[in-house]
Amino acid sequence: MAPAEAPGAGPEATPAVRFVDVTAESGIDHVLPSGTDSTYPMPAVMGGGLAVFDADGDGDLDLYVVAPAAGGNRFYVQHDAGHFTDATTAAGLEGDGMGCAVGDLDNDGDLDLYVTRVGPDRLFLNDGKGVFADRSAAWNAAVPGWSSSAALLDYDRDGYLDLYVARYVAFDPARVCSQHGGRRDFCGPTEFEGLSDVLLHNLGGNGFEDVSAAAGITAVADAGLGVVAADFDHDGEVDIYVANDADPNNLWTHQGGGRFLDDGVLQGSAFNRWGNSEAGMGIATGDADLDLDLDLFVTHLITETNTYYRNLMLPGFEDATIDTELGAASLDLTGFGTAFFDADNDGDLDLAVANGAVKRRPSALATPGGVDAPPAFWSEYAEPNLLLVNDEGRFADASAQRPWTELGLSRALVPADLDRDGDLDLVIANLDGAPRILRNLTIDAGAASDEPTVANWLRVRAFDPRLDREAIGARITVRTPDGPRLLHALPPGSYLSAGPATAHLGLGAAESVESFDVVWPDGLVESFDGAAANQVVTLVRGEDH
Amino acid sequence: MTRAMSARLTAGAPAFWPALALSDIVAAILLVLLTTAPLTAQQIPAPRLDGAEPAVRQRLASLQADLRADPGNGDAWGRYGMVLEAHTFTDEAIAAYGRGHELSPGTFRWPYLLAALIDERSAADSLQFYRAALALDADYAPARVRFAEALERTGQFDAANREYAQAARLDPANAHAHAGLGRLALAAGDSDAAIRHLSRARDLAAENRSFAVTLAQAYARAGDRERGQQIATAARSLGRINYRDDPIRSSVHDLALDARSYLRRANAHRVHGELDLARRELRAGIDVDASRPELHFALAEVLAAAGDPAGSLAAAHRASELHPELEGVAPFLARALFQTGDLSGALAKAEEALRLDASDVSMMLLVALVSAERGDVVRTVDVLDRAYRERPQDPPTRDGLIQLLTNVGEAMVSSGLPDAAAGQFRKALDLAEEAGSPEAAGLRRRLAQVRR
């Protein structure tokens, strides 16, 4: 993709990581309709979902954007590198919703699409060529109520992906809310009853069975927004972490036999350091401190910091937001989508956060009608996004220049190498704005330099030929010259979003890795030979050295 | 000051601080504090008020007029800041407090309120104002605790520890000071000290959920998961809002004049059992905006708790008129009407409640009671069967259902219908066994008798 503009020089020191907004020449111009109006409907300020996935199996990544307003969803196929075409109608993907999840639910080798909504959810099965059929009813997938994010997992290890659907609140459009001396505004979650989440067990690739009650997850009814599923304590069982809006977060630990127990309080991930439940929105997960376990990062409301939960493997977590200096940058912003990703390919995980207020800000940041101004309705809500670069365990705010200073109502955020050049780009969904594609210039900068590159990379794909799909949940330890690194085959879920399950590893100056150790979702452990940098490596179950 | 804050221009900021971000506002306040140049009356920070409630507009206009008449009155500026803050006009409140602090440098509350407000956006930037406040009154423990918390948020753990300890010495009953000591001990890996301090905090403020869950976590870290789980389970019943004993900060929120603030204050009074104060707040809120059903419904609940069934019923009816689907109103009215003997009204409201929530077992029981009262056996049995299939989990509802099923069973025995009676006893027994109820044994015996 050609840059839309020269990277802007920020007011502070030139950062090591630079992105440029290439949306204008990508062919994506659809404004994601929120459906907001003078009644301040709450779904309009919470939506804005996104999936980045190879829908048609041609090897490049396509986009599906999800809008709260009727008929607002759009599906874009990538053809030439970086150029997209609207294929919504041809693909059968019209509609509306909140968010989505992507995975091969029927093990036929292509990626299917689950769309969460304020109302019955929808399941679209892929024919392998990027044409989808709505099989919501046949699969018993039409989960009622306000669903938000969804995560794929194979909790019973039968080879078929199950689905955890986080649900939000029992929204009542008649409820009137206000602040700032009585000015009408969007309601918050505490105005309504929370909804219990839903666990759908995959019946051999032919449909779902709602096993929520038997799994024990109906024991609570909280305002769920973000969800990730992974084995946080390395006990071989997949766990589920749910970010709840104003309610304590849940850490559903699998007890075996399909039963889950919420152990978030005792494991230190339900409340922040202060013992407070926060307005949990999006979740990033990754090994941010390079100690070979998965940490958590949860985004929150203005006046709350985003929170970094460091995995101590006691089992349990500690709120290490202060130690990592992740608090100050977020205190004045409302965070939604987020992801740990190695933005500069230096071997550690950085962070991006999509922001946008849900109530009028105490002080508006946008100039109505100004350059890059959000729509007038949102002028008191618009906020900039954040890029936070990992510097030996402390995160520095690297958002002082465009595109990070631009204002909008951002929600879902997905890192993915859209142009396949070896660094991770970002796609961000914006309410009443076009989805923004931020191209990562790390590789370009290296190529333009006479110096040896310090931004080598690997993409690691864990493939299970028995299932004809990527092994979601596989844990991969990569031996690099700089020490071991932990990867997971997990679609980045964050907030209302889905992305590729293929893991990305920055290698810095290292030109190869020594080996890969894989713990497959069924518990099998295999080792694979190392590989040279700057390629996609596929680790095939059963083909270890 | 973070980069994110300093880089942003805020064209929507109030006229007093045109196009400024927080960093600029704080810098300007400092400038004001260091210079003697007087500010003109035209520079009174005025928030955007389109859509604000008339009472709020009037109050702000009145205070602005006072300031125009006497712009050098620091306390008037501070009071104006309080009213602004009470209505979440944060930028304008910061500016007003800053001016109040400049003009009344000997008044503790203006730098303290300024610090607390800035702290919501940047703990680091708040520290200087906390220090200024504590230099004026070193013994106000809530300020020292907030100062300690700001130090903790900025990673100055040793200094925070000293301030918490000082606050605990000043006011041994300050639960937040003990909690701060416990939190720092937990983060430092000293579980025993954490348990000691957090237990003290919880003893002082048993209603505080934050202290309880942090204590539960400390026990888990110390290896006593069982004790931790007990505390965590008990904490579930605690509200998410933790109140602080800080009269100066509380006095700000008492100034809010919009309808929802009255509701918020009333709810706080209800938590503490202060029903008269809650009623007063709700009536004042209704005076401000009588179209808010949630105010009327809250008033209905307060009046019911205060022993005024007629007033309660009237308020609930008004809430229902304004918003028939408002959560909880229909069941509330159904119960209230039943208690007054208006069975037809109660039945109609219970049916309305069931249309809104078909799984509300308590309403099914009410329908069953009224139907039984009217001799409608078929409907009584039918609705009890529906209730049975819902498997209610909360003890009062479940026990009520068991009792009703038993009563209907006995009535059927009396009517010479042992097979039908056995069916009712069987359902009651199922529920009692599922709940581990001691009534199960008696029901089992009765069922055997009926079957014989």
B74-128 residue pLDDT tens:
999 999 999 999 998 999 999 999 999 999 999 999 999 999 999 998 999 999 9
Taking the Cβ of residue B88 and every Cβ of chain A, the question of whether any pair is shorter than 8 Å is answered with yes
**Neighbouring residues of A513: CB distance < 8 A, sequence distance ≥ 6:** A458, A478, A479, A480, A481, A505, A507, A530, A531, A533
Taking the Cβ of residue B224 and every Cβ of chain A, the question of whether any pair is shorter than 8 Å is answered with no
Q: Searching chain A, which residue's CA lies closest to the CA of residue B393?
A: A219
Which of B 10-69 lie inside 8 A of A, CB atoms? 10-14, 21-22, 47-53, 56-57, 60
Q: Which residues of A touch B190 (CB under 8 A)?
A: none
pLDDT at B24: 56
The nearest CA of chain B is from the CA of A223 a distance in Å of 13
Taking the C-alpha atoms of residue A208 and residue A216, their distance in angstroms, rounded to an integer, is 17
pLDDT at B318: 96
**pLDDT tens-digit map of B32-48:** 444 444 445 458 998 98
Q: Which residues of B touch A335 (CB under 8 A)?
A: none
Taking the Cβ of residue A405 and every Cβ of chain B, the question of whether any pair is shorter than 8 Å is answered with yes
Which of A 78-137 lie inside 8 A of B, CB atoms? none
Q: Which residues of A touch B323 (CB under 8 A)?
A: 174
Beta bridge partners of A487: A476
Taking the Cβ of residue B267 and every Cβ of chain A, the question of whether any pair is shorter than 8 Å is answered with no
The nearest CA of chain B is from the CA of A3 a distance in Å of 24
**Neighbouring residues of A83: CB distance < 8 A, sequence distance ≥ 6:** A1, A25, A26, A27
Taking the Cβ of residue A218 and every Cβ of chain B, the question of whether any pair is shorter than 8 Å is answered with no
Which of A 262-321 lie inside 8 A of B, CB atoms? 265-268, 270-271, 273-277, 303, 314, 316, 318
Q: Which residues of B touch A182 (CB under 8 A)?
A: 51-53, 56, 258-260, 289
Mutate to test the interface with A, among B214, B263, B288, B360 (most CBs of A within 10 A): B214
Taking the C-alpha atoms of residue A280 and residue B28, their distance in angstroms, rounded to an integer, is 34
**Neighbouring residues of B382: CB distance < 8 A, sequence distance ≥ 6:** none
**Neighbouring residues of B198: CB distance < 8 A, sequence distance ≥ 6:** B178, B179, B182, B183, B186, B211, B214, B215, B218
Greater pLDDT, B17 or B243: B243
Percent of residues in chain B assigned helix, strand, coil, to nearest 5: 75, 0, 25
Note whether B213 contacts A265, CB cutoff 8 Å: yes
Question: How many Cα atoms are found within 13 Å in the side-chain-facing hemisphere of A311?
Answer: 23
Q: Which amino acid is at B281?
A: E
pLDDT band at B27 (very low <50, low <70, confident <90, very high): low
Does the N-terminal peptide bond of residue A315 adopt cis geometry, omega within 30 degrees of 0?
A: yes
Structure tokens at B8: 């942003």
The nearest CA of chain A is from the CA of B442 a distance in Å of 30
Q: Which amino acid is at B96?
A: A
Q: Searching chain B, which residue's CA lies closest to the CA of residue A266?
A: B217
The nearest CA of chain A is from the CA of B57 a distance in Å of 8
Supply the ipTM of this predicted assembly: 0.92
The nearest CA of chain A is from the CA of B232 a distance in Å of 7
Which of A 138-157 lie inside 8 A of B, CB atoms? none
Task: For residue A172, give the nearest of B257, B259, B327 by CB distance.
Answer: B327
Beta bridge partners of A387: A352
Note whether A271 contacts B89, CB cutoff 8 Å: no
Q: What is the mean pLDDT of residues B317-346?
A: 93
Q: Searching chain B, which residue's CA lies closest to the CA of residue A190?
A: B240
Q: Searching chain A, which residue's CA lies closest to the CA of residue B241?
A: A276
Taking the Cβ of residue A388 and every Cβ of chain B, the question of whether any pair is shorter than 8 Å is answered with no
Q: What is the mean pLDDT of residues B135-145?
A: 97
The nearest CA of chain A is from the CA of B79 a distance in Å of 16
Q: CA dist A3 to A11, A403, A437, A440, A441, Å?
A: 21, 12, 11, 10, 9
Q: Searching chain B, which residue's CA lies closest to the CA of residue A220?
A: B236
Task: For residue B213, give the nearest of A271, A367, A397 by CB distance.
Answer: A271
Q: Where does residue A145 fall: left (phi above 0), alpha (psi -120 to 50 degrees), or beta otherwise? A: left
What average pLDDT is seen over chain B? 88
Note whether B258 contacts A178, CB cutoff 8 Å: yes
Taking the Cβ of residue B120 and every Cβ of chain A, the question of whether any pair is shorter than 8 Å is answered with yes
Q: CA dist A398 to A14, A390, A424, B121, B214, Å?
A: 9, 10, 16, 19, 33
Q: Searching chain A, which residue's CA lies closest to the CA of residue B209?
A: A275
Taking the Cβ of residue A176 and every Cβ of chain B, the question of whether any pair is shorter than 8 Å is answered with yes
Mean per-residue pLDDT pooled into runs of 10, chain A (545 residues): 33 62 93 92 96 96 96 94 94 97 97 97 97 98 97 96 97 85 90 95 98 95 97 94 97 95 97 96 97 98 96 93 94 96 96 97 76 80 96 94 93 96 96 95 82 89 96 97 96 90 96 97 96 97 86
Task: For residue A266, give the nearest of B9, B56, B225 by CB distance.
Answer: B225
Mutate to test the interface with A, among B6, B217, B236, B262 (most CBs of A within 10 A): B217
Does the N-terminal peptide bond of residue A403 adopt cis geometry, omega within 30 degrees of 0?
A: yes
Q: Which residues of A touch B326 (CB under 8 A)?
A: 172, 174
Q: Which residues of B touch A364 (CB under 8 A)?
A: 10-13
Question: How many Cα atoms are found within 13 Å in the side-chain-facing hemisphere of B404?
Answer: 28
Q: What is the mean pLDDT of residues B216-222?
A: 97
Q: What does the DSSP 8-state code read for residue A291?
A: S
Q: Which residues of B touch A366 (CB under 8 A)?
A: 11-12
What is the value of pTM for the model shown?
0.85
Note whether A181 contacts B47, CB cutoff 8 Å: yes
Taking the Cβ of residue B228 and every Cβ of chain A, the question of whether any pair is shorter than 8 Å is answered with yes
pLDDT at B451: 86
Note whether A182 contacts B213, CB cutoff 8 Å: no
Nearest alpha-carbon partner for A399 in B249, B3, B308, B302: B3
Note whether B7 contacts A314, CB cutoff 8 Å: no
Chain centre to alpha carbon of residue B329: 19
Place of tokens 């205060």: B306
Taking the Cβ of residue B163 and every Cβ of chain A, the question of whether any pair is shorter than 8 Å is answered with no
